[in-house]
Structure 1
């Protein structure tokens, strides 16, 4: 188990240290970009916020409000009278509504009719044979 985990993680390690193809014409530019952006930003590089951080009690109050809203939402969803009914009856109703709709003639074509139409269309798209213009002038 441990061997397979180490092997799997070892396979991912190569993805984090890609090699640039030195034969590529853009290789010098790629390497320059990689070298310029190798260091991660530090916290001191980020601008400071002018607003004070909320107190821990305020954070706790906000978390409690979110949890209460989630509980209220779950209770509201539980009160909904879901009227899904019998799935077989629902399928029969949908099928009857679909059957009541007029079907376009193209929709009613069989696979053989579609293939025949495609064959005729391909024939119409074939170029005619070249015209015989007789012997070439001397």
Structure 2
């Protein structure tokens, strides 16, 4: 044989792909089942909306497009304000320099100072109960004595 196996495999792949695409072509033009009781209504809706959407249905733009100079000015304004914002963000002290336990206690005190609705507390109790039950179910059984 003069043709290599790769060429034969490529030709077979192309033939199979073309055959698969040809088999799918009929599904893009489905016909309505005439025996269906709603077939006339479906066909009427399809025929009524076959041309939709048309260009006349879209709103017309009457205002002129902005000039490139105006767009460039807006882009430069965004760059300047972005740079200013980046400068402000860089001045923020993102790391806590104090004691982590003291910080956690302060945050817990702030959270505890906000009253909790009874429904919320019930929900939290339900969640904790669910977590407890899930952990119990996930515990491994005791090993089997193989003696």
TM-score of the pair, normalised by structure 1: 0.38
Greater helix percent: which structure? Answer: 2
Provide TM-score, normalisation by structure 2.
0.36
